[in-house]
Structure 1
Amino acid sequence: MRLAQLSEIIQRRMGWCPNTGMVRAAPSVLSMPLGVMLPLEPDGSAGGSGRIGRGIEVLSGSIKTLNKEKRLLWFSVLTGLVIAFMFMAQYALHVLGSYPYEMISSTLGVVLTFCIELISVFCICLILAGLFLSRPADPVDAGVSIRLGLSKATTHARAFVCWSGIMAVLGTSVYLLIVSTGDLTIQSLITRFPFGYIVTPEIYGSGPIAGLFHIQYASLATIQMMIINVALFILTAFVIPVLVLEKKPLWAAIGESTRLMKKIWGEMLVCILLLGMVITGFSLISGIFQVIFSAVLLDSPFWYEFYYKGGWSAVAALYMAAWFTLILIITTISGIVIRNIYTCTTSGRMPGVPEGYGRKETSG
């Protein structure tokens, strides 16, 4: 009887029943993959290599998400429309403010520049909010439609107007400061970019159809404002997620975004550098246009047949279309990165990983 009682105690304590069939279990070493050892709230022991690894993991996961949910590319299309608006508005602004028209004063030009920035930033806020609301916290769950996500985003329009006003004041001020200082660094980079090779150099002039003159200015202004806006959105990356996901007031969202940025600045920096390297690498291909343009003789048959009959402009236009498409895809990836990092920071796990998975048990 003592052996039987001892056997019952062992079975009860270990949760084992002799009548239960054998269950195969995966090795314990596979139950805790390294990739889920988050949250993105590193303690003092987390070094730079840990931040780099987590940043790479978040970025690769975001790319996989976009590859799996190609419907999110509609946000790239919407972003492209906003950039197209900025370009056309800057083009019209330059036409109206140039000789022989000069229909607007410099003061009115500044006001219109602010209006362009305000509208653009507001639209970008709506697009980002729609992206965040279209995706669930866990990709295992089904997300809502793009239209429904954007519809939900419009409920925060008042907060977006206030936030866009703040961003537009800062963005316009920095843009005007760059213009007033006469810094030619960005301008020289853009003029070396193959914008000038899409429209033949013969089309110069100051009229509304003078392609190169106004196109280069509009391109320069648009890219400068895009760079400024990207920098501002990076510095305040979590304001929009906190506004739409936690439904906090604007000033609380700004404070919460600052607090979160202090925790995961390393991971954000890794993602920014990697995406920036992709853009820079593809942009450097434009140097081929300059080499060919300088090497080919003007009186050669190739130059006459290829350049003057439109082949050169067609190739440059295809390159610019590919470059612009890459930029738009990266904008969507960046939005997914912000959403995933926000989820990691607030919930302590990567999206798609069941809660508690990979954590140590603390049962007594």
Structure 2
Amino acid sequence: MQISEVIRGYLGWCPNAPVMRTAPAVLVIPSVTVNPAQSDGGGAAGGPGRIRRGISIATGSIKTLIRDKRLLWFSFLAGLVILFLVVAEGWNVTHYDSTLPARIFIPFGDSFFSVFDIRLFLIEGICLSCFTLLLAGLVFYRNGNGVKKPVTIREGFDGVNVNAGPLAALSVVMALAATILFEITSQSQVIGKIELGISLTLFHIPYAYYIPNEVFSALYFSFEIMVINIVLFAIALYVVPGIVLENKGLLPALAGSVTLVKKTWREMLGCILVLGAILIPVAAIALLIGQSALLLNHDYDFFLQVSRGQVLMTIVCYGFLLACGILMAVGSTATGIAIGALYASGRTNTVQPVPERDTPVIAEPVR
């Protein structure tokens, strides 16, 4: 017996045994039709499809706010900032004739034109810094920094500390722009007539508010300032996510935001449609309250007599103002969630659904 035969027998190999051959494994993958998102508005992802995507992002942001109760902390802090704005503007109105050099005027014909209010600039600087910080913390809390998402609100705010410089610069620029825009709009006769018409139609309720003129002026000017701030944040829509998520400076973030706005303007239109669907009922309620005197055939005794409608209308009016403030605070948080999703959608040019819960995604094990 040869040595090779001994080894074969020891290893249990028989030369007469049938030969087993293995075929290479073939992984069969079913064909899937992929419709990539297109930035030019064509195809399945363009036009109405991208508007529907924006509607989905907006509604998903609202659902996320309802599901994740921790996000209400951002709404609570935003409500405090709004309250500070009203109180600070009330102080600014009552101290309008102060001898302190707070306003800068330039001669215009036989009169002087106010171009800058230092006190308003300080108020706006504080408010916009707070709003910018809240938006940055919310975006970081929801979207993370590309590595992991923070699990607590505090971690969300701690994550934006490295971007404090660009965020502060953005706040100062917006405060400067808001102050100048407020001076222009408040002294423009055309804009003043439009604002007065809206105020008299929606918010002027005879004998119902029972508040001093200074408080009414504070509410009126605070509302105007909030509208200006919303416009500024809409212009600088993707600046904060660019700073927080990509650690960009202010100017690169501004430049990048222009490109992203061009890519996602249809999704933004879908979000605006959802916002309009919410604001229309609110405006209808305001119109109903504001025209209550007309509906009652100008029966002003109804508003004056406690036994009839004075107490009722006072509760309705102040309740409506409080509800509007809460809606603004909650809406700012939902808007911040949507901005993060829109930014991710613009960066990847794909559908980015808004998760309703912060549950980890568990991968299916390999078989």
Q: In structure 1, give the amino acid aligned to 2:74.
A: F
| Aligned position for 1:50 | 49
Q: Highest CA radius of gyration, 1 or 2? A: 2
The number of aligned residues is 322
Q: Give the alignment's TM-score, normalised by structure 2.
A: 0.76
Distance 2:209 2:346 in 1: 51
Distance 1:243 1:58 in 2: 22
Distance 1:73 1:335 in 2: 12
Distance 1:266 1:42 in 2: 11
Preserved contact between residue 52 and residue 267 of structure 1 (Cα < 8 Å): yes
Deviation at 1:142, TM superposition (A): 6.5
Deviation at 1:214, TM superposition (A): 1.2
Are residue 338 (structure 1) and residue 350 (structure 2) matched? no
Residue 188 (structure 2) aligned to one of 167, 178, 181: 181
Deviation at 1:236, TM superposition (A): 1.4
Deviation at 1:200, TM superposition (A): 4.4
| Aligned position for 1:325 | 326
Q: 1:262 to 1:92 in 2, by over 3 A?
A: same
Deviation at 1:248, TM superposition (A): 1.2
Preserved contact between residue 38 and residue 344 of structure 1 (Cα < 8 Å): no
For 1:109-149, what per-residue CA distance to the aligned partner results, in whole angstroms no more than 9, with x for missing partners?
711111111111111110001101112459xx874211221
Preserved contact between residue 199 and residue 212 of structure 1 (Cα < 8 Å): no
| Aligned position for 1:261 | 261
Distance 2:352 2:303 in 1: 59
Q: In structure 2, give the amino acid aligned to 1:307.
A: G
| Aligned position for 2:315 | 314
Residue 103 (structure 2) aligned to one of 102, 107, 116: 107
The CA RMSD measured in Å over matched residues stands at 3.4
Distance 1:104 1:198 in 2: 35
For 1:72-127, what per-residue CA distance to the aligned partner results, in whole angstroms no more than 9, with x for missing partners?
111111111111111111111111115xxx44456167111111111111111100
Q: How does 1:10-25 map to 2 (within 5 A)?
A: 12-15=24-27
Q: In structure 1, give the amino acid aligned to 2:277.
A: M
Preserved contact between residue 58 and residue 341 of structure 1 (Cα < 8 Å): yes
Higher share of residues assigned helix: 1
Deviation at 1:301, TM superposition (A): 11
- Secondary structure at the aligned position of 2:352 is classed as coil
Deviation at 1:306, TM superposition (A): 3.5
Q: In structure 2, give the amino acid aligned to 1:318.
A: G
Distance 1:279 1:305 in 2: 33
Distance 1:256 1:218 in 2: 37
Preserved contact between residue 125 and residue 240 of structure 1 (Cα < 8 Å): yes
Distance 2:275 2:79 in 1: 18
| Aligned position for 2:235 | 235
Paired-residue identity, %: 28
Preserved contact between residue 40 and residue 344 of structure 1 (Cα < 8 Å): no
Preserved contact between residue 102 and residue 119 of structure 2 (Cα < 8 Å): no
| Aligned position for 2:8 | none
Q: In structure 1, give the amino acid aligned to 2:193.
A: L
| Aligned position for 1:225 | 225
| Aligned position for 2:199 | 190
Preserved contact between residue 197 and residue 316 of structure 1 (Cα < 8 Å): no
